[in-house]
Amino acid sequence: MTSQNQILFEKSLALIPGGVNSPVRAFRSVGGTPVFFKKGLGSKLWDVDGKEYVDYINSWGPMILGHAHPAVIDAVQTAAANSLSFGAPTGLELEMAEMINKLMPSMEQVRLNSSGTEATMSAIRTARGFTGRDKIVKFEGCYHGHSDGLLVKAGSGLLTFGEPDSGGVPASVAAHTFTLAYNNTQQLEDLFKKSGDEIACVIIEPVVGNMNLIVPKMEFLQTLRALCTKHGAVLIFDEVMTGFRVALGGAQALYNIKPDMTTLGKVIGGGLPVGAFGGRKEIMQCLAPIGKVYQAGTLSGNPVAVTAGLVTLKLIQAEGFHTRLTNQTKKLIDGLVQAAKEAKVTFSAQNVGGMFGLYFSAQCPTSYAEIMQNNNKTHFKQFFHSMLDSGVYLGPSAFEAGFVSAAHTDADITFTVNAAKKAFSAI
């Protein structure tokens, strides 16, 4: 019998570019047919054929409580009954700003929008307006949304400006972006020595989740903070993934590094589209209607989405929540490493809070170059499809982090490790 996944995908190819509405969903890097889902509950997903999976994508992070948490669903239904949108202020927006400021005090003022891409794009524009400078710095392998100036890869020289990494991005836009290697302190120092007074901002994932999971070196983060302070550049932490997931106060609390600005998404929407950016008051005061930097959005701070986020943020403040989440994720990682060792497969893994990385390499990578050179993509493809067949849903790419939710039980982890034993044996 033909799978409903295959039928839906073939129909989608005719009307949706590539058959998907976000490229990573297309299974291009692993091969095969994307899975079309119809239901999620707790740690589980069910596809259109009725097959059950243990979910380690969690909508790429926001489902930190698990799918369809009763308290979130009840609150969303109540909010929706009062209207789906107003295009005008609500008290919920203030409540969200207060909550974010409480949990991340570096965000003295906050503006809500509808996505992480909007948040990072707006934060960079605000930083440029505040400093009066044009140049920005990003790092190889860090993804900050699909705005033009951020779709840039490194040039051939250490300090060259970037080249567009996507069609449709003018070279003149990319020319304002420096791209450096993640965790390379020397490159940072060399760039700031040469061009520090031209740099408006540096944007970084403090824990990278978009080239698999890459953990920062403390010397690297501390040097970055010191150089931005010295040269008057705005340090932006992109905590769209890490915010409230690696720790209650995000990566900035975990590593005790205070950024000038922060971007958020994912968890603050509880599964619905919400983004936010904020930071020092003097920077945020540059925004219209009181400043000269324009940013707007008809659906910014949507009441239903903000409601879902508020309930989520309240629940994750329960005593011991992040300790349990971290420990559960560590159980998963340790089980997978042991299974690979028994099968004599070259493999490593690590986690930060509820985020984890799986690598078919002897050691956990620390940069884009390392993960590109050392991660066995053929082995990942075999592992991915074996796990999928067994009912474990991982990110369909060797370059994506995974996520554990509070709903994942010991039974889920045991099931996953047993599936991995089978997958590793086949490799």
**372-387 as b/e: b if 16+ CB within 10 A:** eebbbeebbbbbbbbb
Count Cα neighbours of 65 within 13 Å in the Cβ-side half-sphere.
Answer: 22
Query: Which residues are tagged catalytic?
Result: 143, 238, 266
Instruction: Please give the torsion angle defined by the CA atoms of residues 89, 94, 96 and 102, in that order, rounded to the nearest 10 degrees.
Output: 160
Amino acid at 333: I
Residue type, 184: N
Side-chain-side CA neighbours of 288 within 13 Å: the count stands at 8
- Cα gap 104→260, rounded to integer Å: 12
How far, in Å, CA of 375 to CA of 362, rounded? 9
R_g of the chain computed on alpha carbons: 21
Contact between 275 and 240 under an 8 Å Cβ cutoff? The reply is yes
Name which of 158, 156, 189, 154 is nearest 174 in CA terms. 154
Burial pattern 295-328, b for ≥16 Cβ within 10 A else e, equals bebebbbbbbbbbbbbbbbebbeeeebbeebbeb
Which two tokens mark 283?
Answer: 């920077």
CA-based end-to-end distance of the chain: 28
Amino acid code (one letter) for 249 = G
3-state secondary structure of 41: strand
φ, ψ of residue 102 to 5 degrees: the values are: -65, -45
DSSP state of 141: T
Q: Tell which residue, 366, 344, 327, 351, has the closest CA to residue 427.
A: 344
- Which long-range contacts does 338-344 make (Cβ < 8 Å, 24+ apart)? 338/417, 339/417, 339/420, 339/421, 339/424, 340/420, 340/424, 342/421, 342/424, 343/421, 343/424, 343/425, 343/427
Query: ∠72-74-80 over CA atoms, to 5°?
Result: 100
